[in-house]
Structure 1
C-alpha cells in the first residue's frame, strides 16, 4: 500500500514570492498527459496559465510532489506520502514540518481529517478540519460537476461527528451541523475535456488568509490525498476485475 519513506532529495521549501502572494482562491486541476501512466498534473487559476505542477513518477502508490512552478523541474513546495501500517493515512510534507491526514471509514460515510496549528502570536491554537462528501450548493457553485467534497472547520471539536454528508448546506457557508465550510472541491465535467480533473476553492475564513499560508497549502494537499486515495481504489478494483 505504499510507504511513509519519502524519496524527495530536497525538503519542501517556499520562496518569498509564494509566501507573499499566497495561493489563489481557486485552482483548477488538469492532466498534462491525460493517458499517461505517470501522473503529471497542472494547477492553475481558471482560464490562466499553469502555476504549479503535480508529479507522481512511480504511479499512484508512490509519493506525489507539488512543484513550486509549472514544470516538474521546479523545486518541491509540498508532497504527500502514505502513512500508517495500512497506508490509508497520509503524511503531508510542507516547508518546515509534516501534518497527518487521517482516514475514517464506516458503512455510512467516509471521512478524512487533519489537525494543525493555525493563527499567529497569542492566537495560535490547534484546530481540526474534516473533508465530507457533498452535493450541496457550495460545491455546485464552483461551476463544475454537482458532486465533490467540502472542508469543514471543526475548531477544537472531534472529527467524524458531523450530520448527514449529502443535502443542502445553510446559505451562509455553514453545514447543517453549524460548522464553517473553508474549502470545496468539485469534480470536473468529463464531457468538457478528458484532461479536466476538477476545481478547488477556498471559502470563508479559508479564503481570508487568517488561517495562514501553511494551512492553505496543507488544505490543498489534503484534497490531493483524497484524489490519490480514490485513484488507488479504482486501480485496485480494475486489477481485481481483470484477474
Structure 2
C-alpha cells in the first residue's frame, strides 16, 4: 500500500477507527528484519518471543512506514509515517485518535544537526498529572483524561544509557525538551528536511550542556551485527517506562525510533 493521495486518505480512514486502548509496548524491544531483505518488513519482538508488532515498508526503504497492530501485515493499521516536502525527506506521523469521535493525531518529525549531533524532534499530547492547583490553561480535555502537548527529541549519543544496551557504543536517547504548549511548538519553523547546521562542534557541546538535566525517556542503538537478523534494540527508561506519559507518547516514541533507523538505512543501502 503506497501512501500517495488516495492511499494516504485510506490510511487515515483506517487509523480513524483504530484505538490506542490495548496498545501494550514492552519496556524493552528488539527490531528484527525479514531474512530476505526483499519483503521490507520489520518485526518488534519482546526478547526472543514471537513478534509483537510488524512494520511494513510497502514502497521499499525510501517510502512510507506502516505499523500494524499485531505480528503480521494482516493486522489493522496502528500508525503510519509518510514522506513530505518537495524532496520527500520530511516525515509526517499519523496516530489513532486520543478518544472516540476525535480526529487522528498528525505530527511532523523535524530534523536538524548541531555539529556532530543529530536531532529528531516531535510533539505529542501527554496526560496532565492530577495534582491540586496545577495550571491547566494550555490543556485540552478528552473523554477520558486531560492532556497537554509536550516536545521531545531523539539525540545521537555515546552516553551510558546507550552502552547499557550492550549493542553499538553509539546510539540515540529520547529526552523531554518542553513541557508547555508554546514551547512545544517553538520549532515549527524548522524545515522537515532541514539542512545540516554549519555552526560546528562547539554548537553541539553548547546544546548538550543546555539540556544536560533533561530527563531521558528511551534509548536505542543499532545491533552489533546482522547475523541474528536483529537490527536494533530499544528500551524505555525512567518516566518513559512507567506508562505515565500515555499510549500516544509511547507509540510515537517507538514509531519515531524506527523511522530514524529507516532514514539511516537509506544511506547504507544506496
TM-score (norm 2): 0.73
For 2:245 and 2:65, how far apart are their aligned partners in 1? Answer: 24
Question: Which has the larger Rg?
Answer: 2
- For residues 62-98 of structure 1, the C-alpha deviation after alignment (integer angstroms, 9 at most, x for no partner) is 2111111111111111111112233232111110221
Question: Does structure 2 conserve the Cα–Cα contact (< 8 Å) formed by 1:38 and 1:58?
Answer: no
Runs of 5+ consecutive residues of structure 2 not aligned to the other structure: 98-104, 131-135, 137-145, 188-196, 198-202
State the partner residue of 1:186: 221
Match 1:164 to one of 199, 205, 211: 205
Match 2:167 to one of 128, 135, 144: 144
- Displacement of 1:119 in angstroms is 1.4
Moved over 6 A (4+): none
State the partner residue of 1:201: 235
- Displacement of 1:176 in angstroms is 6.6
Runs of 5+ consecutive residues of structure 1 not aligned to the other structure: 170-174, 239-243
Question: Does structure 1 conserve the Cα–Cα contact (< 8 Å) formed by 2:220 and 2:234?
Answer: yes
Residues 6, 90 of structure 1: alpha-carbon distance in 2 compared, 3 angstrom cutoff: farther
- Displacement of 1:107 in angstroms is 4.4
State the partner residue of 1:45: 46
Residues 104, 4 of structure 1: alpha-carbon distance in 2 compared, 3 angstrom cutoff: farther
Give the root-mean-square deviation of aligned CA atoms. 3.0
- Displacement of 1:14 in angstroms is 4.2
TM-score (norm 1): 0.80
State the partner residue of 2:56: 55
Match 1:32 to one of 25, 30, 34: 34
Residues 4, 209 of structure 1: alpha-carbon distance in 2 compared, 3 angstrom cutoff: farther
